[in-house]
Amino acid sequence: MGKHLVFDAAYGISYLMTRSFDSLIDGILASYEEIGGINHLDGPNLPSRQSVAAIVEDLQSLIFPGFQAEENLNLSELRYAIGEKVIAAARALTLEVEKSLRYACRIMNDCSRHQDCRGEAQEIVEELLGKIPEIRRKVSLDVAAANKGDPAARSDEEVILAYPCVQAIMVHRIAHELWMREVALIPRMMSEYIHGKTGIDIHPGAVIGSSFFIDHGTGVVIGETTIIGDNVKIYQGVTLGALSVQKQHANKKRHPTIEDDVTIYAGATILGGETVVGKGTIIGGNVWLTETVPPNSRILHQPSQTSRIRQQNGKS
């Protein structure tokens, strides 16, 4: 077996390769065949992470122009500037949605649903872009809820620029539109992209009402079949999750329903598809809840063990 002395210019060092490069490459190629995990060969590619991330940023800039990047906007040129953004977003997203549709055909081994993937992709993207005014109205209500619900907030502009919940909810409202149109992969890619930036994990399948506020946000998890009503406020570390993670339950409602005007404090965990938190309820911090509670309830964590320790310390 040949030996190769390789010089790494970046680090200024040499090292000895005891196996030929051909053998190394053969091993890597064999792993692709055995394990998979490689993008399509001799066929359409999967949606691109880099492209989807750029599309998310472009769509956010349509919802709040001038807040995502340095832009000199003036009224006389606004139509032209927005027109450029719409065309660029439409072009890029259509390509990625087409890839997604072709992926769905490959997975189902049936293209009867997608006779014209490009045409269907264009239709889906036009529908999404047509929803931008409605998404803007919803996100503006979310911003107002944050400003009203947080004494530290000084203005809507501060909330838009500085609060991670705005980005997370905004992207969720975009991704949810694609999810409802059965676009594979891209809604999850959008959600995970913004999850990485904000620490807030919202599945694109979740249904979220108006004026939604996530205070602080880090560690919040909202599962796929969660339903959240209007004027709901949750704090960091809250999980709205499933009681069972068994694969056979994938198509069932696995996550809770949160009715209007509910507040859920930090660290609370609410699980189960049949669990309903009634309207106007307050869930205290660190509560573990797996059953329905009626409207206007007050559910508090009972640290009984801590209480006993304090009593014991008090007697000693």
Q: How far apart are CA 102 and CA 254, in angstroms?
A: 29
Average pLDDT over residues 283-303: 94
Q: How far is CA 60 from CA 56, 141, 142, 205, in A?
A: 6, 16, 14, 19
Question: Using an 8 Å Cβ cutoff, are 100 and 119 in contact?
Answer: no
Query: Tens digit of pLDDT for each residue in 43-80?
Result: 568 899 999 999 999 999 999 987 776 666 666 678 88
pTM: 0.83
Tell me, letter by letter, the H, E, C secondary structure of 59-76: HHHHHCCCCCCCCCCCHH
pLDDT score recorded for residue 251:
80
Question: Using an 8 Å Cβ cutoff, are 205 and 248 in contact?
Answer: no
* Annotated domain spans of the chain: 4-35, 46-200, 219-316
Strand order in the sheet with 288-289: 201-202, 221-222, 239-241, 269-271, 288-289
Domain 46-200, what architecture?
Answer: Orthogonal Bundle (1.10)
* Sign of the dihedral defined by the CA atoms of residues 48, 66, 90, 134, in that order: positive
Q: How far apart are CA 109 and CA 21, in angstroms?
A: 37
Q: In the numeric block, which tokens belong to residue 71? A: 């832009």
Domain 219-316, what architecture?
Answer: 3 Solenoid (2.160)
